[in-house]
Structure 1
Amino acid sequence: MSVPKVVVVGSANMDLVGLAPRLPRPGETVLGDDFVMTPGGKGANQAIAAARAGGATTFLGAIGSDSFGVTLGSRLAATGVDTTHLRTSYGPSGVAVIMVDRAGENAILVSPGANRTFLGLSDEERACIADADVLLCQQEIPLATVAEALTAARAAGTRTVLNAAPAMELPPGLLEQVDLLVVNETEARAITGGQDASDMAALLALVPRVVLTLSGAGSRYADRDGQDVQVPAFAVEVADTTAAGDAFTGALAVAWAEGRDLLDAVRWANAAGAASVRKIGASNALPDRAEIEALFEG
């Protein structure tokens, strides 16, 4: 079997992670347990997740000209992600400030920085997308660029996956270019205008295939062919849930790119998400293929 090709178009941030007994309330200061600084951003995380899951992965995005940008680029390259077309924008890189409590729950504030400058695709970037088996996008970069990437993929016959995070209202026509939508309950409600997130029919009216992630309850897959299946989570000890969604989505893109049935791909992605929560952090917590397989087969 040939190595599946995945192109990720998205954000890169430096994650500043504070660990504390509990998350602070508005206006409150909580004394923390520890602090970790690690490369992150949904796009970069999902690119690293896809590479570690066994995909030949190219990342298209923008980093700043600061020291964070140097670290972000080095981290992506060190994990096997192709950064040939990674842009550098004069100014600060994206930064995410993340608070994690002892139960593994988190709260995240993102300052986009260089990610805001990722506008318009070059001919070389379009060629990368056309050569891929799967294009994976999120929503931490300008939506105009997301729409342009999805349109380029559709024109080239490349499968498209949109992880519609963070939750926001989408421009008309964007979802028409999406083959597989990955959302949590909050993101699902943002897309359907507040309808019950469990109503898959509302989402399937917009896209042909949907994965609804359900945190510790696993995920749910539905499509226009009539499948609607709850996929249970793998039981593990939770240290930090920050990387779970990105581990899941990156692994899902790889599994679909290598030709797995989508329901089986979702089960495999569940194993990737579960493997990631056993570690603290974002990109550093993303599991490799052996870790995913061990949990999936175990």
Structure 2
Amino acid sequence: MSKITVVGSLSTDFVVSATKRPEVGETIVGDGFTTTFGGKGANQAVATARLGGQVNMIGTVGSDRFGKEMLINLKNNGINTSNVESVTHLPSGSAHITVVNGDNSIIYIPGANDEITKNQIKKAFPVIHSSDVVIIQNETPLEIIETVIQTCFEKGIKTIYNPAPAKKIERELIEKVSYFTPNESEYKLLFPELSLSEGMKKYPNKLIVTMGSKGVYFNDGEKEVHVSSYKVKPLDTTGAGDTFNGAFGVALTSGLDMIASIRFGNLAAAMSIQKFGAQSGMPTLSEMKESEYYEKEWHIK
């Protein structure tokens, strides 16, 4: 079983669905409202655990009702929460999501997620050092991201850095990670001076750009590689990127090569967007194996 540590955010998603987005000053009638579990860190942890990974979560929640419910949800998904700490002076993180025609727009409020400390990371070093791969995203303070990546780099631990949402980072940091997985819009914000081809050539077998229905692109050191997506009708794309990153991590630590790992991630993401909610649509490994697109050669247990 893959040992995977996820360092990142935990939040509650407040989701509104509608047929259009309101203009400034406009009030419209929506189609529905629900609350779901979210946060890019928690999402990636749940995606990983459902696919058979042995997952440890490192993060911070508030001492409010939402924080308690998030911890219960992680435990219900088989995730170790020993390194998730509670703070009393800030509310738990939240995301406010509008879904229109299957696509989402999000306002994220970090809350307690910004209170994770270097000392908390140091206390979790035994867990990090025993991991097959560590996954981290950008809904975490930059100094924490740098601390995690540096310790993994020094210990030779593989890392998947999903730079979402995009924020300015030092290029030296990218050099230290094993895999860097922005989506198309994040790539453009992070590398405005480089075309997609130039960026992938600069970071072969490291920079993996996810482009939704257009698939995934990377450079294998000799040429650009395009891995097609699976064509499905989306209901809610929230959490698709998180599902991909979690599944990609499981596949890599199960011994699959880059292309096979990306295909596995693409299938998991495609299955996730056919249900509502960031986490509720994330498939289990048994559900993946029931898909007509599942490849027997993947040999993931």
TM-score normalised by structure 1 residue count:
0.93
Q: Letter of the aligned partner of 1:214 in structure 2?
A: M
Give the Cα separation in 1 of the matches to 2:207 and 2:253.
Answer: 16
Indicate conservation of the 8 Å contact 1:165/1:187, yes or no: yes
In structure 1, runs of 5+ residues without a counterpart are none
Give the Cα separation in 2 of the matches to 1:217 and 1:271.
Answer: 13
Give the 3 Å change call, closer, same or farther, for CA 6–204 of structure 1 in structure 2: farther
Give the Cα separation in 1 of the matches to 2:98 and 2:209.
Answer: 24
2:208 aligns with one of 207, 211, 219? 211
Indicate conservation of the 8 Å contact 1:276/1:286, yes or no: yes
Give the Å deviation of 1:76.
0.8
Give the Cα separation in 2 of the matches to 1:234 and 1:193.
Answer: 29
Q: Percent identity?
A: 34
Q: Letter of the aligned partner of 2:148 in structure 1?
A: A
How do 1:75-114 and structure 2 match up within 5 A? 75-90=73-88, 91-101=90-100, 103-114=101-112
Give SS of 1:170's match.
Answer: coil
Moved over 3 A (4+): 121-124
TM-score normalised by structure 2 residue count:
0.92
What count of residue pairs does the alignment treat as equivalent? 292
Indicate conservation of the 8 Å contact 2:203/2:219, yes or no: no
Indicate conservation of the 8 Å contact 1:181/1:207, yes or no: no
Cα RMSD, aligned residues only:
1.6
Partner in structure 2 of residue 124 of structure 1 = 123
1:10 aligns with one of 8, 11, 15? 8
Instruction: Give yes or no for the alignment of 1:269 onto 2:265.
Output: yes
Give the 3 Å change call, closer, same or farther, for CA 119–173 of structure 1 in structure 2: farther
Give the Cα separation in 2 of the matches to 1:143 and 1:39.
Answer: 23
Q: Letter of the aligned partner of 1:46 in structure 2?
A: Q
Instruction: Give yes or no for the alignment of 1:38 onto 2:1.
Output: no
Give the Å deviation of 1:194.
4.7
Partner in structure 2 of residue 257 of structure 1 = 253
How do 1:224-239 and structure 2 match up within 5 A? 225-239=221-235
Give the Å deviation of 1:25.
2.7
Partner in structure 2 of residue 73 of structure 1 = 71
Give the Å deviation of 1:218.
1.7
Partner in structure 2 of residue 56 of structure 1 = 54
Partner in structure 1 of residue 191 of structure 2 = 192
In structure 2, runs of 5+ residues without a counterpart are 296-301
